[in-house]
Amino acid sequence: QLQACGGGLVQAGGSLRLSCAASGRSFNRYGMGWFRQAPGKEREFVAGITWSGGSTAYVDSVRGRFTISREKSKNTMYLQMNSLKPEDTAVYYCAALKGGPWRDYEAYDYWGHGTLVTVSS
């Protein structure tokens, strides 16, 4: 029901935009978030956005470089990633939650398959 795409290989300093398209149901009343998981590491909260789009949150390591947004008419969420660094390399996942703490992956109700982002130095 959630499909993330837009990953790829990019050089350090470059940009990518991830998309998360929902199908089968509307997520317009759900908060949504992006997580990432690098090899050998735990899944990490990256960014979250409320159902209205009026409030966002970011992990400190991406604040100022990444921007989360959503387009409710298209049932789609985005993550614009600029000034990418090698440490941003990970599989990125999108997810939706009805309620609960954004930063806690266990609070999320729906998950998409991940999309791989690789940043070369």
What's phi and psi for 106, nearest 5 deg?
Answer: -70, -15
Secondary structure of 90-114 in HEC code, one letter for each residue: EEEEEEEECCCCCCCHHHCCEECEC
Residue 88: helix, strand or coil by DSSP?
Answer: helix
Pair 4, 111: CB distance under 8 Å: no
Predicted confidence pLDDT, tens digits, the chain (121 residues): 899 999 999 999 999 999 999 988 888 889 999 999 999 999 999 999 998 888 999 999 999 999 999 998 899 999 999 999 999 999 999 999 998 888 999 999 999 999 999 999 9
Q: What are the residues whose beta carbons fall under 8 Å from the beta carbon of 6, sequence distance 6 or more?
A: 16, 17, 18, 19, 115
